[in-house]
Structure 1
Amino acid sequence: LCPKKFIAAQSLRRHMRIHTGDKRFVCHICNKSFTQSHHLRNHMLVHTGDKPFLCQVCNVAFSYKVNLNNHVYKVHGINLKFKSIHTVTEDILRREMGMVNETRMAIMQITPGIGDVPPPAAHETVHHSSDY
């Protein structure tokens, strides 16, 4: 018996398709079938060649987000499960500050503005005194 519990009846019905084998969403190209519509939508990327998930570090594209996450972890050493890609590129930049200038410049092009914090304008400077 399956221990899963659901609040909404629709969620239970959708889940039951896993157990009954009801795969009502069928690919019109290869006839592969799926229990949920979003699984079919993801599958269609195989046929279209679309690769909407781009690595912000090295510009390699992937059809599936999970493949991008695996790539970023294995190649760049960052776990995207807990971070956004923007945090990842900042982490890489900080970690790799000793790298050759060409690579540093490539990362700076990918994430413009990292490390480029201009000094405050004269009228924005806060002056502290002992009077406070």
Structure 2
Amino acid sequence: MTNHFALVHLKKTKFYCAPCEMYFLNGFRLRYHQKYFHEKRPKPKHKICHYCGKGFSSNRILENHTRTHTGERPFECELCAAAFAQKHALTKHVTTAHKNKN
């Protein structure tokens, strides 16, 4: 809770990345950032698609990929009949196709 308060409310913690001038919630997140952002190590791809065997680094990416196999489109436009597999596709659709309907 102390780390949360320092980061979110005071905007400063002891977990600081000097090259980025960014603060992190805890040491784990700072080390993760340094390892995969600055050292450019590849993230482990241990989340495996049971349809095709392809590996992914996070559950969110795996879920998005799985929809390419299932055809699921859970993100529906409230203004028309369009539906999308990924949330960012819905957001882009709404801002482009319905830009004058807000």
Instruction: Say how many residue pairs are matched.
Output: 79
Distance, in Å, in 1 between the alignment partners of 2:31 and 2:45 is 13
What residue in structure 2 maps to residue 11 of structure 1?
29
The structure with the larger Rg is 1
Instruction: Select between 15-24 and 58-67 the one with higher mean Cα deviation.
Output: 15-24
Q: Deviation of residue 5 (structure 1)?
A: 4.7
- The equivalent position to 1:58 in structure 2, one of 67, 80, 97, is 80
C-alpha RMSD of the superposition: 2.5
Please state if 1:70 is matched with 2:88.
Answer: no
Q: For structure 1, which runs of at least 5 residues remain unmatched after alignment?
A: 79-91, 94-132
Distance, in Å, in 2 between the alignment partners of 1:51 and 1:58 is 14
Distance 1:47 1:14, change over 3 A: farther
- The equivalent position to 2:41 in structure 1, one of 2, 20, 24, is 20
Identity value in percent: 34
Deviations along 1:81-116, one digit per CA (max 9) or x if unpaired, are xxxxxxxxxxx27xxxxxxxxxxxxxxxxxxxxxxx
Distance, in Å, in 1 between the alignment partners of 2:93 and 2:82 is 9
Distance, in Å, in 2 between the alignment partners of 1:12 and 1:47 is 35
Contact residue 17 and residue 23 of structure 1 kept, 8 A: no
Distance, in Å, in 2 between the alignment partners of 1:25 and 1:5 is 28
Counterpart AA for 1:20: R
**What is the TM-score of this pair, normalised by structure 2?**
0.60
Whichever structure has more strand as a proportion of its residues is 2
Distance 1:54 1:29, change over 3 A: same
Q: For structure 2, which runs of at least 5 residues remain unmatched after alignment?
A: 1-18
